[in-house]
Structure formats: structure tokens, C-alpha cells
Amino acid sequence: MPKKIIELFTDGGCRGNPGMGAWGACLRLAGQEKVLWGFVPETTNNRMELTAALRGLEALKRPSVVRVISDSRYLRDGMTQWLAGWQRRGWRTAAGDAVKNKDIWERLVTVAAPHEIQWEWVRGHSGHIENERVDALLNLVMDQCAAGGQAQEGEGWL
């Protein structure tokens, strides 16, 4: 019997960089979708991109086969090309600098470990339906949470 594949569509962004930011994620399995979102009053776009993937993977209840689809090359390349080198060099880049967002990268490594993950990049704002949806979600979150200025997270089923 073929394994069921969970699709995880993620996006993160901020207004100003750094500035207020949000992330959105949509998990899909067998026609069911669950959305997750969060708002942070002061952050960077890369932290939000990583957090979207982290929170999506944290929502999984058991080891799974997952396709993570993101418009962040930073996320995809970090997980598929750079991570082993960073860890080998003690969380240093090839240039010897400290890896930015190490706290989230370390959590991503831990939460990704039990899963079989394919990391995929899609061009942002290019009409990819699910990417446009999570982008719209995070922008709605920023619009609605900006006035309160407090970090928030939420989820729901579609």
C-alpha cells in the first residue's frame, strides 16, 4: 500500500525587515486541510519563513512522509544543502560567521528528524495557488494583529 503524503505549504513575511511579521502554513492530507498561523511584533522575514515550516511539522502527530512547499530558498537550501556543513563547523557558515537563526534551525532539525521530507521551492507571487493562500493568510494575520502588537498563534480546519 503506498504511503500517504502530507503536503505542507508554508510562507512567512514581515513589514519592514526587521519589523512586524507573520507566518502561515497549510497541512493537507486526503482532501482535509488544517491552517496554522502566527504573528510576531518584531522579527525578520527569514525567521518567519523558518517558523512556518517548524510549526507545520510540529503539528504532525506521527512520523510521516511530507512534502514541504515554500517560496523560501533560504529554508529549502538550508535544509537540503547547508545544514550538514553548518553542523560540522559548529554552526558556522563557510565564511566562518555564526549561522543566523540558529535557534530555529536547531528546532527544525529536531522536529524534522522522524519524518521523510521532500523540501520544495516554488516562486513566490507567481500564481501557485497554495502559496498564494498562505501568503494571503499571513498578510491577513498582520493586518488583524498589528493593532494589538502582541505575539499570537492560531489554527483551524478548512
Q: For this structure, is 97 an active site residue? A: no
Residue 97, marked binder: no
Q: For this structure, is 155 an active site residue? A: no
Choose, from 13, 21, 24, 49, the residue flagged as catalytic. 49
Residue 143, marked binder: no
Evaluate if pTM is beyond 0.85. Answer: yes
Choose, from 12, 13, 21, 56, the residue flagged as catalytic. 12
Q: For this structure, is 116 an active site residue? A: no
Pairing of strands 116-121, 19-29: unpaired
**So what's the pLDDT on residue 2?**
60
Q: Encode 91-119: b = buried (16+ Cβ within 10 Å), e = exposed.
A: eeeeeeeebebeebbebbeebbeebebeb
Q: For this structure, is 71 an active site residue? A: yes
**So what's the pLDDT on residue 158?**
60
Write out the residue range of the structural domain in which residue 71 sits.
5-157
Domain count of the chain?
1
CATH number at residue 14: 3.30.420.10
User: How far apart, in whole angstroms, are the C-alpha atoms of residue 28 and residue 108?
Assistant: 20
**So what's the pLDDT on residue 75?**
99
For the stretch 42-75, pLDDT in tens is 999 999 999 999 999 999 999 999 999 999 999 9
Give 92's strand partners.
98
